[in-house]
Amino acid sequence: MSKIDDAIGIISALGFPEAQQNERSALSLLALVQLQKKGNWRDLKAPLLGIRAILDFCRNDYKRPYAENSRESFRKETLHQFVSGGLALQNPDEPGRSPNSPKWCYQISPQAKALLEKFGTAQWGKALEEYMATIGSLAERYRKERDLNLVPCRMPDAILYLEEKNWLFLVESVTSVGPVDGKRHAELTHLFGQSSAGLVFVTAFPSRLLMARFLPDIAWETEVWCADNPSHLIHFNGDRFLGPHG
């Protein structure tokens, strides 16, 4: 396997989301430890690197010439997550550095460096287990699962009433009647027009992947719930946040 494949496997093993399990993130990790194609995982470094230096490493050491406009992708879609996940440090030499400083930099964390130096050895499995017990998984944190009072429901559509707020939730499954689009929103508003409760319209999807197919159709001022992320609601913003409108 190549060093890039190794790095992607490590990023996955560390529990980073799929959005970080790619070549860009792999090369960023290799840059942070200065591991070249023929280098050894037992001989890693920990320099302070800015985005420019990381892009130079990608071009010079791995022949991956990323365009200048990819800087923000490295920053926002890889290095930000590395810092959040404890894999990298941000400005360890000067934590109070201004965000627009040209000296803004990143460094592999000491704990991560010590772990990576065991990659490919008999100690890797135990070291990874101990590291994860201490650092945890960013993917798990991103899910932010919460303890909720769940209401079991076997029907594709449902009407729920939240007494303390006097809200009436009209929940419709996309597999039953389609999404709550502008036309359906108007129909339901008319149908429940005499209700004294505030109306909250919710489209239920089996997954976020399926939801993506219907994004252009979902009406503003409605909510979306996905079965594969049951503790969250996605709000299609109107004149206010979650709750009835009008």
CA atoms within a 13 Å half-sphere pointing along the CA-CB vector of 80 = 10
Please give the average per-residue pLDDT across 110-137, as a whole number. Answer: 92
Compute the distance between CA of residue 226 and CA of residue 95 in angstroms, rounded to an integer: 39
How does the average pLDDT of the chain come out, rounded?
88
Question: Which of these CATH numbers, 3.90.870.20, 1.10.10.1820, 3.40.50.410, 3.20.20.480, describes 3-143?
Answer: 1.10.10.1820
Q: Where are the domains of the chain?
A: 3-143, 158-236
Higher pLDDT, 211 or 25: 25
pLDDT tens profile 215-242: 999 999 899 998 877 878 898 876 655 5
Query: Is the CB of residue 174 less than 8 Å from the CB of residue 196?
Result: no
The predicted model scores a pTM of: 0.60
Q: Name which residue leads in pLDDT, 112 or 245.
A: 112
Inter-residue contact 32 to 50 (CB < 8 Å) = no
Q: Do domains 3-143 and 158-236 have the same CATH topology?
A: no
Tens-place pLDDT, residues 72-115? 999 999 999 999 889 999 999 998 888 889 999 999 999 999 99
Domain 158-236: top CATH class: alpha beta
What DSSP string describes 95-107?
A: TT--TT-TT--EE
Report how far residue 25's alpha carbon sits from residue 78's, in angstroms, rounded to the nearest whole number: 6
